[in-house]
Structure 1
Amino acid sequence: MRIKNSVVVITGAASGIGRATALRFARRHVSLVLASRRLEALESLVAECTALGSRAIAVPTDTSEHDAVQELASRAVEEFGRIDVWVNNAAVSFFSPFLEVPLRDFERVIDVNLMGYVYGARAALERMQDQGAGVLVNVASIVGEVPQPYTSAYSVSKAAVRALGVSLRSELMLDRKKHIHVCTVLPPTIDTPFFHHAANYTGRRAVAMPPVYTPDRVAKAIMGVVEAPTREVAVGRIGRSMVRQHRLMPGRLEKVMAHQVEHTHLSRKEAAEDSSGNLYGPSLDPADARVTGGWSGRRRTAQRTIMGTALLGAGVGAVVFAEPLKAAAPVLAKRAAALGRAVVGNA
């Protein structure tokens, strides 16, 4: 669809992928309706988007509340007359063994990550049905294809978001709604503040698991599926490779994912106190209202991509040849780091 002059609603816009997406759309002079629980962060984003040539309004919204999401859609129509693009992006998570996470926290993740998307989809599609056109983008995750340990609710929610997209596309096809599209985007690990404020009951600090990509990489993918609607897009070479390999040899890749999370997603050096993070209220740290999370996504993408490729290949080989991944990883990491320095140095 034509992006210029369109009306775009983005949830979870205050930081990370949502903020990067808003800024990328703002450069195309759209009208933006920006939603998040953090009013101050939204107001600063409105100022940035306006400076780039777009019209923008901030609508504080808790997407786990149906009425609040309906109000968000109503504000968009009242202010700009229609909704051309709706990006479901708001999400929360925890890190915890399944048997130790409070059930209340599990339910909260499902409420935000799944029901929030359901509410957003209903609000958007109701308006798009009346208009006869529109694009709904659901931001899921690679873990919706390859679930990981310690984030059970997040993995469940993202798998469900993918299924929701398939179901909605099927209904639109049967109803011959050729100009209404539902697209799903699957990011891998992204350099955002997300890991700083996730709930945590592991006793270990959560860190971004390599390879780490920039939020703008996802924003570019979102804009791409809006311009040329595509049913589902995995972001990044490693993300696409994981999706393909999981479908070919799921058991093997699940072992790789488990080892990756255990050894690179939870710090072995830094402890963390039990915390419900931002599940029930937004982070009050101004640093969390940024696009990036300080994980050096842009500078280290080349190095970490090589590292991820090496570990992915070694993990699959480890199952085939019964070689323990843990023993192979340090050598591979050393080689990958050397290759990464060479790539960065020659960039």
Structure 2
Amino acid sequence: MVAITGASGGIGRAAAREFARRGDRLALLARGEAGLAGAAAEVRELGAEVLTIPIDMADPDRVEAAVARIEEELGPIAVWVNVAFTSVFARFDDITPAEYRRATEVSYLGYVYATMSVLKRMRARDAGTIVQVGSALAYRGIPLQTAYCGAKHAIQGFHESLRCELLHERSPIRVTMVQMPALNTPQFSWVLSRLPQHPQPVPPIYQPEVAARAILYAADHPRRREYWVGASTVATLAANALVPGVLDRYLGRTGFASQQTGDLRIDGDPVNLWEPADGPGGRDFGARGVFDDRAHAHSPQQWLAQHYPQLAAAGALLAGGLAVLGLARRR
């Protein structure tokens, strides 16, 4: 049985379909009821049994109650996937303390609360896998996303510490993290933005189904500490490790324009920081965002990492080296 948070749209929704195709029973958790209903209909069409739970992952008591309900109605949780997040696209000075706290509570503490509730049940039966969905931004902060980058960095540290504890105990429970590239998800249409132009992912962009396949693979092969999806993610991490100062200056020059489309932002766009954009009266946004015409449906690096990890590692070093050379020329 597989449980997925943030399942009403984006990565979580695409992952739900991926697990449904192979016949898993599913528990789908998210705030947006319209999105949850759409996700449930999709996985039922694929033949999966599904339970939907509208929930704010920032509330630890509700998270505990949700986990208890899932196990009571669907049975022991074999795989838990943490995806749910919210954020703010803005300069740091333009974010209020309340907004920062809210983004952190959902995007970081929501992972912690869910892991606490699920892990104690997995410990009782010495079985289970927890997949934390991360980002290249868990290692490399970029401008205009301080809240998101801070949360992803925190998840990375939390994940590594917990994994060390489980290894010390020789626990059969597995935790792994999937570091994502830029993805074509609805977040760019519903995350609170104070940018003058419509936000966009930094190219190259991948479809959420690429992320979903990586999550499924990580759930089935959780012994690795983490999985990196997309050559751009690997190149970014390699460049950050080799020339962090150069990358800081490069992003300082290019990171503002590269995260905006050039089209003016429209006042009145939906915002999901405090309430779901796909809640009562809202619409179902689906798994994909508005960048279909620019998004890649496949990642050769991901395929290599799954089938020929040594070649993937060599490709990562090459990509990182090329990124370093490119950055050096732009200094």
Aligned 8 A contact 1:128 1:180 in 2: yes
How far is the alpha carbon of 1:30 from its aligned partner? Answer: 0.6
Q: Distance in 2 between matches of 1:237 and 1:287?
A: 33
Alignment of 1:151-190 (within 5 A): 151-177=145-171, 179-190=172-183
Alignment of 1:306-321 (within 5 A): 316-317=324-325, 319-321=327-329
**2:257 aligned with 1:266:** no
Q: Distance in 2 between matches of 1:276 and 1:28?
A: 34
Alignment of 1:44-123 (within 5 A): 44-123=38-117
Q: 5+ unaligned residues in a row in structure 2: which ranges? A: 302-318
SS at match of 1:140: strand
Q: Distance in 1 between matches of 2:9 and 2:321?
A: 33
TM-score, normalization by structure 2: 0.87
- Which of 227, 242, 253 lines up with 2:220 in the alignment? 227
Query: For each residue in 1:152-181, what CA deviation from the matched residue of structure 2 results, as whole angstroms up to 9, or x when unmatched?
Result: 01100000101111011011111120x201
Q: Distance in 2 between matches of 1:224 and 1:163?
A: 22
How far is the alpha carbon of 1:49 from its aligned partner? Answer: 1.0
Aligned 8 A contact 1:108 1:279 in 2: yes
Aligned 8 A contact 2:238 2:320 in 1: no
Q: Which amino acid aligns with 1:218?
A: A
- Which of 3, 7, 12 lines up with 2:6 in the alignment? 12
Q: Distance in 1 between matches of 2:320 and 2:269?
A: 31
TM-score, normalization by structure 1: 0.83
Corresponding position of 1:240: 234
Aligned 8 A contact 1:96 1:202 in 2: yes
Aligned 8 A contact 1:95 1:201 in 2: yes
Corresponding position of 2:287: 291
SS at match of 2:104: helix
**2:264 aligned with 1:280:** no
Aligned 8 A contact 2:206 2:295 in 1: no
How far is the alpha carbon of 1:54 from its aligned partner? Answer: 1.3
**2:199 aligned with 1:191:** no
Higher relative contact order at CA 8 Å, sep ≥6: structure 1 or structure 2?
2
| Larger-gyration structure (1/2) | 1
Q: Distance in 1 between matches of 2:143 and 2:63?
A: 31
Aligned 8 A contact 2:181 2:205 in 1: yes
Q: Which amino acid aligns with 2:241?
A: R
Q: Which amino acid aligns with 2:328?
A: V
Q: Which amino acid aligns with 2:168?
A: L
Q: Distance in 2 between matches of 1:243 and 1:315?
A: 10
Aligned length: 310
Q: Distance in 2 between matches of 1:35 and 1:228?
A: 23
Percent of matched pairs sharing the same residue: 31
How far is the alpha carbon of 1:266 from its aligned partner? Answer: 1.7
How far is the alpha carbon of 1:313 from its aligned partner? Answer: 7.9
